[in-house]
Structure 1
Amino acid sequence: MLYEPQALLPELTRAFGVSPVASTLAISVSTAGLALGLLVLGPLSDRRGRTAIVHAGLVVSAALAVAVPLSPSWEFLLVVRALQGVALAGLPAVGVAYLREELHPSISGRAIGLFIGGNAIGGLTGRLLGGLLVDVGGWRTACAAIAVLGVACTVAVRLLLPPSRRFVPVPRGAPLLRQLSQAVTDPVLLGIYGLAALLMGSFVAVYNAATFRLEGPYGLPTSLASLVFLSYLLGSGASPAAGWLAGRSSPRVVVPVSVAVMGAGLALTLAASLGLFVAGVAVVTVGFFAAHGVASGWVATRAALGGRPVGQAASLYSFWYYAGSSVGGTVAGRAWDAGGWPAVVLLTGSMTAGALVLTLVLGRTRSLAAD
């Protein structure tokens, strides 16, 4: 649901008469709303429990998904999408912390990798379904189908998600500011938060601009252009595989290698051949999900070993992750307008290079027992 408009951006520009830059707001307002929601729902989950936040967030976001295809105006659509982002914050605010608490440390890293891989499958489904249906019945039909899928998934989570058994609530008297300060005083955690913003900003920028490049220079209809999102299948496998490798070695080794893979994929997208462009996007996807899957687990492990609130640390990671998405996705539209795909690669390459430098710096910091 979060990224459902990504394959529909060219169609939204025509349907509402907005520019490519403005069309990216359909995604950016949601990720911005999600980032803000994390600041509230993360600490709330440390007090009230994990699963209650997940269920409430999914119910509200599914209801708002039904309203999206009924939008009478561009402004109404943006408001609904922003609110949907806030509601969806319940899942990333809780997911990693829930797995870290409920599973044995020997398997929690792989489980978090599977969780991230599941996000990839969900992202693929929404984008691919929307892209395939938009040429059949327009963007409203595409969004309606995704809303039905969202409602079905909400029901499935309600029936299948086990309740928390090892959750220990933060005392009610514990000030939120004190919890926040505990999650921002570790320089390694701060570095991983910054890494999340750079990685996600670069990744979303690539896919936002790719929809325009595939339609423009290559002349593909939206239904065919959306097939590039099949690269997410590779990401769904890369994330748990990277989690397994990090468990056998260290996140300090796996993350920089994964970021370097992203950079190699970006370089490949500069080729004129459509096949090489798609291959480059696939390589970027593999590198991103490998890095993100390991980094998100690294945050939870580091916070737990340092005696810091895991939910708060995981929420801050997700906050910067989605803040990076919001900024990177919008700036990509401006880069596309200014200089086409080479300008997009320059932008995303700069962010990826910054992420690589940051991972190398993190690799030289003091390690706790298992990070």
Structure 2
Amino acid sequence: MPPASSGATATHAAALTPPSPDSEPTTANTVNTPSTAHTDRTAHTDRTAHDTRTAPGGPGFRRMSFALFLAGMAAFALLYSTQALLPLISADFGVSASTASWTVSAATGALALFVLPLSALSERYGRRTLMTASLSVAVAVGLLVPFAPSVGVLIALRAVQGAALAGLPASAMAYLAEEVRPKALVAAIGMFVAGNSIGGMSGRIVTGWAAQAWGWRWGVAVVGLLAVACALAFRALLPAPRHFTPGTLHPKSLARTVRSHLSNPLLRRLYAIGALFMTVFGAVYTVIGYRLTEAPFSLPQGVIGSIFLVYLVGTASSAAAGKLVTRLGRRGALYLAVSTTAGGLLLSLSDALAAVLLGLVLITAGFFAGHAVASSSVSRTATTGRAQASALYQSAYYVGSSAGGTLGAVAFHAGGWGGTVGLGVLAVLGVVTITLYGSRAARTERLTARAA
């Protein structure tokens, strides 16, 4: 694949290709002699010395991480700014839960549709440039959303906002893959995902209390102003890329890159896992506001918004994803994330508020850990066309969000909270099936390699 499609030179990509995330660490069957061990250490030292990418403790790493943390925070706050307000939007416009849910699903669906073409633009114009442009447009639209005269206009504005945000996630992950050393990649992406969770949490809390005091329009207006501050700080802090090589846009080359990624069984599994995890998350958080406004809870809007403090758990679990992978391996970390999410879903069926809150904590922790592991695995697996690989993951991820939001609302209308939980359990079983299949496939490959 030419450099234009990967954003980095072929030599650089080949020299720094990380191990496949589908392979668990194994113990060597032979013992190194002192001379061999010395040679291996020397070679490793030479590779590390020539790797000019940023590492923890290195110049600019904290600045880079914090800048992308702020970008993720702004993106999630804007993307889901109406989610906690759906009951108020339903009442204001006189529409059903499924109709109001489109103010979320339209944004995530547009993001899924535009993330791939915008990631291609990042190959030509640069990751930082595209991320800045995406945030700027999304923030501008966010300042218009409070003035929507009808639910149709509101949905249209939210779709435009989602399309604008499409330039951020894949470009951010490609930027990190190019600028950060492989061993630090999970931690760096975990910080970006942690920003997502903080943004989702703060956006919902702020909108909840502002909406309780002044109505839902003021709620989304305050989030828009917070996003402006985050966008300005992001642009000021993010270091200029040092390992990006701009290329020319070639539609045929892009199509070949996309076909190559989609023909990779591991990437396909990771895309499906991201979509299914987000189906659960989208369904739960689209509907939870409706459930908590009804009996036996009957909570006010401000309190419902404050419940999203559980997103702090997602911040911790996504930032800790690197340690989980080190201890359990990637598939082990995914099994733990799935088990945690499933336990939370079942616990949330209780009519006791404390049990529901604990269920949300477990769902949130499991989702963000699983997302951090899957998304970082995509960045490590793709050695060329990283922006496109990440874009395909983001497309699948936000298709899952749109599907989860819409289907979760339909399931809630048909069967109450139990219907929404049933949808989530089916998605969780899908993740388990895919992960088990991946484990079996990896074991078969190892046995075949030994036999050869």
Same fold (TM over 0.5): yes
Superposed, 1:79-98 pairs within 5 Å as: 79-98=156-175
2:348 corresponding residue in structure 1? 269
1:186 corresponding residue in structure 2? 264
Q: Aligned residues, how many?
A: 366
Whole-angstrom distance in 2 between the partners of 1:228 and 1:251: 30
Q: State the SS of the aligned residue for 2:91.
A: helix
Superposed, 1:1-371 pairs within 5 Å as: 1-170=78-247, 172-173=249-250, 175-217=253-295, 218-304=297-383, 308-366=384-442
Structure 1 letter corresponding to 2:216? W
Whole-angstrom distance in 2 between the partners of 1:219 and 1:107: 45
Sequence identity, in percent? 40
Q: State the SS of the aligned residue for 1:164.
A: coil
Q: Residues 185-236 of structure 1: CA distance to partner in whole angstroms, max 9, x if unpaired? A: 1011001101111110111101111111110121001111112211100000
Structure 1 stretches of 4+ with a deviation exceeding 6 A read none
Structure 1 letter corresponding to 2:422? L
Q: CA deviation at 1:170?
A: 4.7
Structure 1 letter corresponding to 2:90? T
Whole-angstrom distance in 2 between the partners of 1:40 and 1:141: 33
Contact 1:109/1:247 (CA < 8 Å) preserved in 2? no
The alignment yields a C-alpha RMSD, in angstroms, of 1.6
Structure 1 letter corresponding to 2:394? S
Q: State the SS of the aligned residue for 1:183.
A: helix
Q: Residues 279-312 of structure 1: CA distance to partner in whole angstroms, max 9, x if unpaired? A: 00110000000000111000010112xxx31110
Whole-angstrom distance in 1 between the partners of 2:232 and 2:98: 35
Q: CA deviation at 1:171?
A: 5.2
Whole-angstrom distance in 2 between the partners of 1:275 and 1:119: 25
Contact 1:206/1:332 (CA < 8 Å) preserved in 2? yes
Whole-angstrom distance in 2 between the partners of 1:229 and 1:212: 14
Relative to structure 2, which stretch is displaced further, 2-11 or 95-104? 95-104
Q: Gaps (5+ residues) in structure 2?
A: 1-77, 446-452
Whole-angstrom distance in 1 between the partners of 2:218 and 2:387: 37
Higher Rg of the two aligned structures = 2
Contact 2:211/2:219 (CA < 8 Å) preserved in 1? yes
Contact 2:121/2:249 (CA < 8 Å) preserved in 1? no
Q: CA deviation at 1:182?
A: 1.6
Structure 1 letter corresponding to 2:262? V
Whole-angstrom distance in 2 between the partners of 1:313 and 1:256: 23
Q: State the SS of the aligned residue for 1:133.
A: helix
Whole-angstrom distance in 2 between the partners of 1:363 and 1:136: 52
Whole-angstrom distance in 1 between the partners of 2:332 and 2:247: 33
2:17 corresponding residue in structure 1? none
Structure 2 letter corresponding to 1:288? F
TM-score normalised to structure 1 length = 0.96
Whole-angstrom distance in 2 between the partners of 1:83 and 1:285: 27
Contact 1:109/1:244 (CA < 8 Å) preserved in 2? no
Q: Residues 107-133 of structure 1: CA distance to partner in whole angstroms, max 9, x if unpaired? A: 111111111111100111111110111
Q: Gaps (5+ residues) in structure 1?
A: none
TM-score normalised to structure 2 length = 0.79
Whole-angstrom distance in 2 between the partners of 1:331 and 1:243: 32
